[in-house]
Amino acid sequence: MFPRALNCAVLPVVAAFTVLYGGPGAPAEEIPKTPGHRLISHYEGGPAQAAPLPGEAPVQHPFLAPNGRSGMHSDAGGSATSPWPGPLGRNPRVTSERIAALGGECATATFDSAGRLVTVCGTFSGFKVKLLEPRTLATLAEYRLPQRSSTVEAITSLDLSKIFKDTSGGAYFYLDDQDRAVLADSRQHVLRLSHAQRPDGSWQFTVDDDWDLTGQVPHDCVSWTNLRPSGACDPVTSVMPDWDGRIWWVTRQGRVGTVDPATSRIRSVRLAGEEIQNSFSVAADGVSIVSDHALYSFRAAADGTPEVQWRQTYDRGSAAKPGSVNQGSGTTPDLFGDGYVAITDNADDRMNVLVFRRGADVPAGRRQVCKVPVFGSGASTTDNSLITWGNSIVVENNYGYENPTTLLLGKSVVGGVTRIDVRADGSGCDTVWQSAIRSPSTVPKLSTAGGLLYFYEKEPNAWGIDAWYLSAVDFRTGERRWRQLTGTGPLYDNNWAPITLGPDGTAYVGVFNGIVAVRDGG
């Protein structure tokens, strides 16, 4: 998920900061901490030894940057794994970069072939595609995207929940095999941007391609020059390429489409009455998309039109839960193991992890492998991707988190993390371990080279101190090995942004005011 920001009480402040600081970014500076950071533990546990995990890495997509570098969920299958070690907890060092006076969260982080970060950061004056130096986090180049209609609606209606429920505008982008960022902006255009160094040594982004989807997507959206539109607006949520190089896209109101980069031909279908707020995953056998009603496998017809290979409904519950964007699954489908796909449902009492066989020829009665309830009665949901490696699945509990105001004054969520394994013979699934880790809203990651899971943790504090930690958990046992304080206060709340492990072993976390980096200090 992506920034879902503050509540209505701070809207006048938001508006003021947008007016005063909405222009080009100020010089680099650290994200401010609130009082209390000297009164709490900065580091707990002890350094871990790298313990590589056996198993095969996810298949490399031919049109994506190398696995671990290409997007929010690490690879085409959405495994949320990285092939290199993350920080092991040896004298960790924390740095941060404040992106804007208010807001500025850098969610998806990708890495070009030289290790530079390509990210999209959300500010109240619009999203920015940024090129960052990986050690100093200094901005090398930026490209401004149009402001999302939800931001304008939030300010004019004094209802910031409109931002909280919006995952469109470029948050879900990917880096392709030529280091180009591909995203859909708030104008319903798909852009492909390259970055290069000028003769004077400075850097710049260039729009290489711009595909206009408005012929097939309603686009009468709220803007500062169109405050009362008479038509419909359907924001584009996410984009991903298939194995033939077509760029697939989905919209909030259930449209599924493709762009052929060679011909610019655009085709689409609509899932009537269904909503898509998550990203999606791709394998050679199809495109897996989850709506708020069902899990789908798509393929493209000869002319590029999306065709349904199979559809599987799930228990969507009776309402959205606190910690959910909508009434449906909050997970991007995970493609893993021997032809499996996993999501979570939105069942009322206890959320379930669901595993299905994804072959197009699987009989309906054999498609479901298992249904495993997780976390406590009446307090379970997730709006973040699962982690998958081999036949293993890791899921966290986001129940109770809504936005950065939810956890102020030392509050936290019920939390919980569970590992589930699909049996080797495919006869079902078993719970391997359960942890009490409280990771309110992050997309966690697994280092397969280090054997460590990384979460962004916050525990209740009786003194009202809001302390945020990067926590490393043993994948095999569920034991927390160490955790490092990143900062205190709501500006360090990750607000649905993921942890991303860089090729140099740094862990990056998008936070409400920018981006944080944690690396071993030797």
Kindly report the three-state secondary structure assignment for every residue of 336-386: ECCCEEEEECCCCCCCEEEEEECCCCCCHHHCEEEEEECCECCECCCCCCC
The structure tokens listed for 490 are 């709501």
- Give the pLDDT of residue 3: 40
- Give the pLDDT of residue 226: 79
**Mean pLDDT, residues 374-380 taken together:** 96
- Give the pLDDT of residue 229: 86
- Each residue's pLDDT tens digit, 453-509: 999 999 999 999 999 999 999 999 999 999 999 999 999 999 999 999 999 999 999
Looking at every residue in the chain, the average pLDDT score rounds to 91
pLDDT at 298 over 80: yes
Class of domain 8-519: mainly beta
pTM of the model: 0.93
Beta strand spans in 51-115 (E): 81-82, 93-98, 103-111
- Each residue's pLDDT tens digit, 194-241: 999 999 999 999 999 999 999 999 988 887 787 788 888 899 999 999
pLDDT at 7 over 70: no
- Give the pLDDT of residue 161: 61
- Each residue's pLDDT tens digit, 162-171: 665 666 677 8
For residue 480, what are the β-bridge partners?
Answer: 473
Gap between the Cα atoms of 343 and 349, Å rounded: 17
User: Closest Cα to residue 29, out of 139, 164, 171, 175?
Assistant: 139
Please list, residue by residue across 19-29, b when 16 or more beta carbons sit within 10 angstroms of its beta carbon and e when fewer do.
eebeeebeebe
Q: Other C-beta atoms within 10 Å of 398: how many? A: 29
- Each residue's pLDDT tens digit, 146-195: 877 767 776 766 666 666 566 667 789 999 999 999 999 989 999 999 99
**Within 13 Å of residue 409, how many CA atoms lie on the same side as its CB?**
2
**In Å, what is the CA distance from 134 to each residue of 46, 115, 116, 131, 519?**
26, 7, 5, 9, 11
State the burial class of residue 418 (Cβ atoms within 10 Å of its Cβ: 0-12, 13-18, 19+).
buried
- Each residue's pLDDT tens digit, 40-78: 999 999 999 999 999 999 999 999 999 999 999 999 999
Q: Which residue has the tokens 């005011």?
A: 513
**Can you tell me whether residue 12 is helix, strand or coil?**
helix
